[in-house]
Amino acid sequence: MPFTGSRLPWYERAMQEMTAPRRADNYQKLELQMGYYVNVGKLPDALACFETAKASGFVMKQHHLELAVIAVLLQDGPSAAQAFIEAESESIQVSFKQYPELFRYLMDGFSATEEDLVKMAVLRFYEVSTTTKNMKVKHHITDSTSHRLLLAGKAHLALDLLTTVYQSQYRHLADITSVYMKMFLRAFANLNNLQGVRWCILSVLSGGTEIKRDFVVEARVVLARLKKATNKSSDGRVEHLERITDLLEKHQGDPRMQQLRSRRHLKRQSRQMLKKPVDEKLLFKQRDIIPTIESWDEEYELMAALGRVGNSPPRWTESDFQEPFQAWA
């Protein structure tokens, strides 16, 4: 307008339709958007970001296509992932110098179970996160994927996924959170594996994971359900687990309990003794709780809870186990 220099309303409206509200380089990168949504389990949102970028003419790189395939596979299964790869075959041929193992299985039609494909997809996401600039490794994808599997009644698959990531190299790239241990706890409880439930609680108590209120509540709920289901057949094992859970609640307010954690030298001393068949009757002894925590060997105990240490000579070596975080010692 004359004298004031202000713009007319119609001009403002016209310019809003023509110009973006912010500079294009101020938007978050596509891989970060997709990585976030895949991590938290919002797979449709991750694919929506991909489709929006594709419609705008964005040139897709290898990690964008990999994230999209992982999202499709985890959401809709192998058939949908194969169809997606066929639809994006032109971009894939241009972007990929060498196909990852997951792509080879999907493209060449190799026979693989759902369990194997889910694990390959999750582990490939970890690999993409470690090799892509500005992407951070988190265990949220394992949390969200195992949660969906548990809701679908696939506790065995959820437990196998959690175990695979826990025993992999990616375990050390991010903290194991209480949510991760909650998923472990639910999976073991759904399979009525009391030794596995014991492993979850004692691993948290031994200093492997920060004790959060939500984990304590989850443990209480799980034990109440197991106590009702097992009735008198548990031989006091559920009651023993309840007493261990009491220590979780005392941990936050008692300085002496906060100093109670696994000691690396005791763990190494006891590892040789642990190479023998597991006697479940000896696992649920009240008087042995404190010494058990101090010499807790979470790697071996997990193998035992999964039934991989049988009555025959144990089929494992020191190389089967990853050294824990230094902060866990």
Q: Domain segments of the chain: what residues?
A: 17-141, 175-329
CA proximity to 43, closest of 67, 79, 60, 78:
67
**Mean predicted lDDT score pLDDT of the chain:** 79
Label residue 233 by pLDDT band (50, 70, 90): low
Average pLDDT in the 15-23 region?
Answer: 61
Per DSSP, the residues of 123-185 read HHHHHHHHHSTT----SHHHHHHHHHHHHTT-HHHHHHHHHHHHTSGGGGGSPPPHHHHHHHH
Question: Nearest 5 degrees, angle CA 178-CA 183-CA 188?
Answer: 120
- What one-character DSSP code corresponds to residue 28? P
Contact in structure between 306 and 298 (CB atoms under 8 Å): no
pLDDT value of position 17: 63
Range with lowest mean pLDDT among 68-77, 109-118, 268-277: 268-277
Contact in structure between 77 and 114 (CB atoms under 8 Å): yes
How far is residue 19's CA from residue 10's CA, in Å, rounded to a whole number? 15
Higher pLDDT, 225 or 273: 225
Structure tokens at 45: 């949102």
Structure tokens at 173: 């790239």
Contact in structure between 181 and 204 (CB atoms under 8 Å): yes
pLDDT value of position 180: 92
Label residue 322 by pLDDT band (50, 70, 90): very low
Range with lowest mean pLDDT among 14-18, 36-40, 264-268: 264-268
Where does the chain have alpha helices with state H?
Answer: 9-18, 30-39, 43-55, 62-76, 78-87, 89-95, 101-108, 114-131, 140-151, 155-166, 178-190, 194-203, 213-230, 237-251, 255-258, 264-274, 289-294, 298-305
Range with lowest mean pLDDT among 53-57, 207-211, 234-238: 207-211
pTM across the whole model: 0.79
Q: For residue 15, what are the contacts with CB-CB under 8 A and spacing of at least 6?
A: none
List pLDDT tens digits, range 248-278.
Answer: 877 665 555 555 555 555 555 555 555 555 5
How far is residue 24's CA from residue 237's CA, in Å, rounded to a whole number? 60
Label residue 34 by pLDDT band (50, 70, 90): very high
Residue 48, pLDDT > 90, answer: yes
Residue 296, pLDDT > 80, answer: no
pLDDT value of position 56: 86
How far is residue 242's CA from residue 237's CA, in Å, rounded to a whole number? 9
Residue 43, pLDDT > 60, answer: yes
CA proximity to 127, closest of 108, 159, 103:
103
How far is residue 159's CA from residue 152's CA, in Å, rounded to a whole number? 13
Residue 16, pLDDT > 60, answer: yes
Sign of CA dihedral 255, 203, 317, 175: negative
pLDDT value of position 319: 41
Average pLDDT in the 33-54 region?
Answer: 93
Question: Nearest 5 degrees, angle CA 87-CA 88-CA 93?
Answer: 130
pLDDT value of position 259: 57
Residue 241, pLDDT > 70, answer: yes
Structure tokens at 4: 């004031």
pLDDT value of position 190: 93
Residue 87, pLDDT > 80, answer: yes
- Of all residues in the chain, the percent with pLDDT exceeding 70 is 74
pLDDT value of position 208: 64
pLDDT value of position 263: 56
Residue 162, pLDDT > 70, answer: yes
Structure tokens at 117: 């494909």
Residue 65, pLDDT > 60, answer: yes
Range with lowest mean pLDDT among 205-214, 293-302, 312-321: 312-321
